[in-house]
Amino acid sequence: MRDRQAAQQARRAREFQAFVAGAAGRLLHAATLLTGERPDANPRARALLTAALASTYASWDRLRGEDPYDRTRTVLVVRFARGAWRRSRGRGGLLARLSPQERLVVVLRLYEGVAEEQTAALLGLGVERVRVLSARAVAAVLHPPRGPAPGVSGVSAALGGPSGASLGKGASP
Amino acid sequence: MSQQERREAVVRGMLDAEGPVAVPVELHADAVRRGARMLRRRTVVRRLMWLLLLIAVVAFAVWAAQAQPWVEPPSSRTPPLTSW
Contact check, Cβ <8 Å, A20/B15: no
pLDDT in tens, A155-164: 444 444 444 4
pLDDT at position A149: 42
Q: What is the DSSP letter of A3?
A: H
ipTM of the complex: 0.73
Residues of B in contact with A39 (CB under 8 A): 18-19, 21-22
Q: How far apart are the first and last CA of chain A?
A: 47
Render pLDDT for A84-107 as a digit per residue (tens, 0 to 9): 666 667 677 888 888 889 999 999
pLDDT score of A170: 42
Mean pLDDT of A68-83: 93
| In contact, A67 and A40? CB cutoff 8 Å | no
Using a CB–CB cut-off of 8 Å, the residues of A that contact B are 13, 16-17, 20-21, 24-26, 28-29, 32-33, 39-40, 42, 46, 49-51, 53-58, 60, 94, 106, 109-111, 134-135, 137-139, 141-142
Q: Which CATH superfamily is domain A2-145 in?
A: PhyR, sigma-like (SL) domain (1.20.140.160)
Q: Where are the domains of chain A?
A: 2-145
Give yes or no for residue A23 having a pLDDT over 90: yes
| Mean pLDDT confidence for A110-118 | 94
Q: What is the DSSP letter of A91?
A: B
B17 touches chain A (CB under 8 A): no
pLDDT at site A129: 95
Name the phi and psi angles at A37, rounded to 5.
-90, 170
How many C-beta atoms lie closer than 10 Å to residue A145's C-beta?
A: 9
Looking at residue A147, its pLDDT comes to: 56
Task: Determine the average pLDDT of the residues in B58-78.
Answer: 89
Instruction: Compute the average pLDDT of residues A52-71.
Output: 93
* pLDDT at position A132: 94
* Domain spans in chain B, listed from the N-terminal domain onward: 25-49
Contacts of residue A133, defined as CB under 8 A and 6 or more positions apart, other chains included, come to A101, A102, A105, A125
Among B8, B23, B34, the residue with its CB nearest the CB of A54 is: B34
Min Cα distance B54 → chain A (Å) is 22
